[in-house]
Structure 1
Amino acid sequence: EPKRVAETSASKAPCEPQLTVLKQLWAQEVQSSDGDSEPADIFCVRHSPDDTLIAAGCGDGAVRLLQADGGHLAYTLFEAGGSNLPTTCLRFRPAASSSKTRNILIAGCSDGTVKHWHVTSQKCMHTITEQNNQVYALDYTADAAHFATGGRDCTVRVYDEATKTCMLSLGSSFDRQAVGHSSRIFAVKFDPNNPACLLSAGWDNTVQIWDVREGRSVRSIFGAHVCGDSLDLDGGVVLTGSWRPTEQLQLWDLSTGALIDAGHVPWGGDQSGREPCQVYGAQFSKGSAREWIAAGGSGSNEIKIFSRTSKKAIGMLSLPKGVYGLDFANNGKTVAIAAGDSKVRVVAVPDVARKVH
């Protein structure tokens, strides 16, 4: 199971001067499946391609899909007799898939499985088991032809979506003098414009840039301590979110592995004496512009949205417990949040027409 820290309730401190409090559209507590009405831990969230559903990966192994408009429970994906270990990562299959079957979601679990679910029928279509592994990270290529996994065993695996077979295992090797990860992997990300380029990051403070055609790491970025789904890529710019009290958000050049300009997106603070935010989730906004960055984590237990160009925060929301994951809607208007208080929240992105000074 991914490393999590003991959370403490955030104090009711004032926000940073002139920083907009993000408008919360709804918050929905998610119940577990064991019949005792206890809330379920939530580790990750993901929007469906049409933005009508938000999938939540839960601590009891289930995936619960909530209506994006209001948060009502629409579907529950759960196999009786399973391990009941946490679902740690989710991806909807992109609409570009050549398959006639739609509404496919893949879910990675701490028991080492990757399940393909048909959401609307609530049926598990296929299960892959990675022996002696815990799966913490997933991503699809933009054309949905392949997907990748990462987890406890320090290996990135690339699968063929049509056959569900592993095509490639990417890891370090002393015999081949191959570079790879030396600790757990918590994020994988395909270049949306180049399916042969795959990034991965985790506890070992590196981002590995893999050439899938060559089956090796062609470049390493040093300095990001990734403990969640906090790796993104757009237009040759790599975003990392690190679980640490300083230099949490950084922007890197994909082609060189160097920090861009100063490289850091300052988190800022409200001088209230609260703990700094240590980031579990970070992402570029979706859509054509991709001009915002959302990030959140534990410590100060908050989410912030930043301008990518000015590197300044334009809005924030404090939560009772930490942020474990987040996801922009595909239309870029809202952000879904997986929080440590067993609630899925949706906040509105501030008016994009506002000037960021």
Structure 2
Amino acid sequence: MAQDSGRFSNISWNRVSQLSKQTDGGGTASPTGFCSIASLIRSARSSRRESQVSTVSSGNLSKSRSFLSNGDGSSSSGPVIEGNLQVLGGIDCGETVLSIQHSENGSSLLAGLVSGQIKVYNPVNGSIVTTLENEEILSNGKALSRLRCKPYTDFQPNTLVAATYVSGHLRLWNFATGQCAAQVRDDDKNAEYLSLSFNPFADVIAVGLSNGHIKLYDENTLQVVSLLHKSLSPFKNNGHTNRVLCIANHPTNPHEFVSSGWDNTLQFWDARCPNSIRSTFGAFVCGEGLVFDRKGRDLVVASWRGKQQLQLIDYTTGKLIEDIEPQLTNHYLTSAQYLNKDLLITCGTNLGIIKVVDLQKKATIASITELPGIYDIDMAKKAVTGHRFLITNNTSIVTIEYNK
């Protein structure tokens, strides 16, 4: 988003903080408290307001109606910013945003909402381009749980986005035309689809379910080509026993990926095997909290808990390399992404936080605290200066920039 041009919403931090307390368990530190994300996405709001977008000058945030003040311009305690982070602007989506991602070329910004809708925005000026919805979404109001844009293959552009829903649906949308290209629903009507990942090397989509299973779908037919799960042996930890909330494909191996969720395990998979090939205990992932380095040697795990929440894992062995900032904290992490090879951006709930972590120093070098819960983050594709990223902030998407 451009810093001073375009149309951005005047979002009151106080207002969204109050909403966060309603949907985030009032700051209570418990798995069920966070996973009001689960309760949040079970009951979509009946009213769907169109996005309201107006101008905010990012150069004068502290003195205007802005992210850091009340809607009437009066002062508020607001977030606490430390280090070289700057709030640039944002978009009011009208209802709770659970998942965000840029298109591969950065020309579109997609927001998955608690109503099940996907709103597509122009990331330069914040204007809404289209809304991805069909009659089924409008009638049942089941929430979207995760969306992911298809990676470019052989440098060929595409406009395909996949989305999972707690109704047990997997839908493929063309966000350029606004059409639903294909959809499928699980045979088990009680199944919830909670996470997904495109295989960057093949036309396969991995979907994580509420029962701990992972289904691999053929992207072209939406037929299940493989069902991955724990074996029947009670003595083997070779699959999930609870919700799968994150799947991350290996960046260089087309057959392998990792997953985690509510069962305190990290599972390592080869798509050619029905059970995981190795596993470790200790990860409690409640969002996009699994991130590979570029070579696929190390895996960052962001866990939703008060200590040892950010860890570096050796992918080959599954063993812990080190805890990054292992001390006790009131911020529980939901998602993480690399800013570059040495810097990591993480966000969390309970007491909302955004922080930039230096992996060499093993320390936070910039942060914003005193926030409502942050569920998802995404790197901007075309940052003019510094490192620009977006966060979900209740009903809004906020653009933030980090400069060394």
Q: What does residue range 51-62 of structure 1 map to in structure 2 within 5 Å? A: 51-62=106-117
8 Å CA contact 2:229–2:274 kept in 1: the answer is no
- Could you tell me how far 1:329 is from its partner in structure 2? 2.7
8 Å CA contact 1:178–1:216 kept in 2: the answer is no
Unmatched tracts of structure 1, length 5 or more: 32-39, 270-274, 352-357
Give SS of 1:128's match.
Answer: strand
Q: What does residue range 165-314 of structure 1 map to in structure 2 within 5 Å? A: 165-174=223-232, 179-234=238-293, 235-260=296-321, 263-266=322-325, 276-285=330-339, 289-314=340-365
Q: Number of paired residues?
A: 325
Which residue is 2:171 aligned to? Answer: 115
For 2:264 and 2:77, the matched residues in 1 are separated by 31
- Over 3 Å counting, the alpha-carbon distance change for 1:13 and 1:118 in structure 2 is closer
- Could you tell me how far 1:267 is from its partner in structure 2? 7.3
For 2:87 and 2:327, the matched residues in 1 are separated by 21
Give SS of 1:194's match.
Answer: coil
For 2:326 and 2:128, the matched residues in 1 are separated by 34
Partner letter of residue 249 of structure 2? Answer: F
- Could you tell me how far 1:101 is from its partner in structure 2? 7.7
- Could you tell me how far 1:216 is from its partner in structure 2? 2.4
TM-score by length of 2: 0.75
Q: Which is higher, the Rg of structure 1 or of structure 2?
A: 2
Q: What does residue range 158-169 of structure 1 map to in structure 2 within 5 Å? A: 158-169=216-227
Q: Of Structure 1 and Structure 2, which has the larger fraction of its residues in strand?
A: 1
Higher relative contact order (CA 8 A, sep 6+): 1
Deviates more, 1:60-69 or 1:19-28: 19-28
Q: In the alignment, which of 29, 32, 36 is matched to residue 92 of structure 2?
A: 29
Partner letter of residue 237 of structure 1? Answer: D
**Does 1:69 find its partner at 2:120?**
no
For 1:268 and 1:173, the matched residues in 2 are separated by 36
Q: Of Structure 1 and Structure 2, which has the larger fraction of its residues in helix?
A: 2
- Could you tell me how far 1:292 is from its partner in structure 2? 2.0
What does the per-residue CA deviation read over 1:18-56, in whole Å, with 9 as the maximum and x for residues that have no partner?
x4152112121112xxxxxxxx11111111101122211
8 Å CA contact 2:290–2:302 kept in 1: the answer is yes
Q: What does residue range 35-114 of structure 1 map to in structure 2 within 5 Å? A: 40-82=95-137, 83-96=140-153, 102-114=158-170
- Could you tell me how far 1:283 is from its partner in structure 2? 2.0
Q: In the alignment, which of 188, 191, 199 is matched to residue 133 of structure 1?
A: 191
**Does 1:153 find its partner at 2:217?**
no
- Could you tell me how far 1:109 is from its partner in structure 2? 0.7
TM-score by length of 1: 0.84
- Could you tell me how far 1:268 is from its partner in structure 2? 7.2
Which residue is 1:347 aligned to? Answer: 400
Partner letter of residue 338 of structure 1? Answer: T
Give SS of 1:195's match.
Answer: coil
For 2:260 and 2:136, the matched residues in 1 are separated by 32
- Over 3 Å counting, the alpha-carbon distance change for 1:267 and 1:334 in structure 2 is farther
- Could you tell me how far 1:214 is from its partner in structure 2? 2.6
- Over 3 Å counting, the alpha-carbon distance change for 1:62 and 1:267 in structure 2 is farther
**Root mean square deviation of aligned Cα:** 2.5
